[in-house]
Chains A and B, each alone.
Chain A
Amino acid sequence: MLAKRIIPCLDVRDGKVVKGVNFVGIKEVGDPVQCAIDYDRQGADEITFLDITATHEGRSTMIDVVRNTAKNVFVPLTVGGGIRTVDDFRQLLRAGADKISVNSAAVRNPQLISEAADKFGSQCVVVAIDARRKEDGGFTVVVNGGRIDMQMDAIAWAKECERRGAGEILLTSMDTDGCKQGFDLELTNAISQVVHIPVIASGGCGKLDHFSEVFEKTGADAALAASLFHFKELTVQQVKEHLRSHNIPVRR
Chain B
Amino acid sequence: MIAIIDYGAGNLFSVKNALDYLQIENKITANPAELAAADGMILPGVGAFRDAMTMLNQSGFTEAIKQQVKAGKPLLGICLGMQMLFEKGYEFGETDGLGLIPGCVQRIDSGGLKIPHMGWNDLTVLHDCALSADVQDGDYVYFVHSYRAETSDDYISCYATYHEKIPGLVFHDNIYGAQFHPEKSGQVGMGILKNFARLVTT
Contact = CB atoms under 8 A, between A and B. Distances in A.
Given A75-B184, A76-B184, A251 B13 contact: no
B184 A98 contact: yes
B195 to A, nearest CB: 15
A96 B116 CA distance: 21
Given A70-B13, A72-B21, A121-B46, A3 B122 contact: yes
A27 interface: no
A113 to B, nearest CB: 16
A5 interface: yes
B106 interface: no
A158 B114 CA distance: 16
B57 interface: no
B20 A198 contact: no
Interface in A170-222: 196-198, 221
B190 interface: yes
Given A121-B46, A196-B114, A96 B122 contact: no
- Contact size class for A? 20 to 34
A96 B17 contact: yes
Given A2-B121, A251-B120, A74 B21 contact: yes
A3 B21 contact: no
A198 B119 CA distance: 9
B159 interface: no
A168 B119 CA distance: 11
Quick one: which of B119, B139, B142, B144 has the most chain A CB within 10 A?
Answer: B119
The interface residues of chain A, by DSSP majority, are classed as loop
A11 interface: no
Interface in A97-147: 98, 121-123
Interface in B36-68: 46-47
Given A71-B20, A96-B14, A123-B144, A252 B119 contact: no
A71 B16 CA distance: 9
B17 A71 contact: yes
B118 interface: yes
B77 to A, nearest CB: 18
A197 B114 contact: yes
Contacts of A71: 17, 20-21
A90 interface: no
B14 A167 contact: no
What 3 A-B pairs are tightest by C-beta distance, nearest first?
A: A251-B140, A3-B120, A251-B120
Given A1-B161, A5-B120, 7 more contacts: A71-B17, A74-B21, A74-B185, A98-B184, A121-B46, A167-B116, A196-B115
Interface of A: 1-3, 5, 40, 45, 70-72, 74-76, 94, 96, 98, 121-123, 167-168, 196-198, 221, 249, 251-252
8 contacts: A74-B17, A74-B183, A74-B186, A96-B14, A168-B118, A196-B114, A198-B118, A251-B140
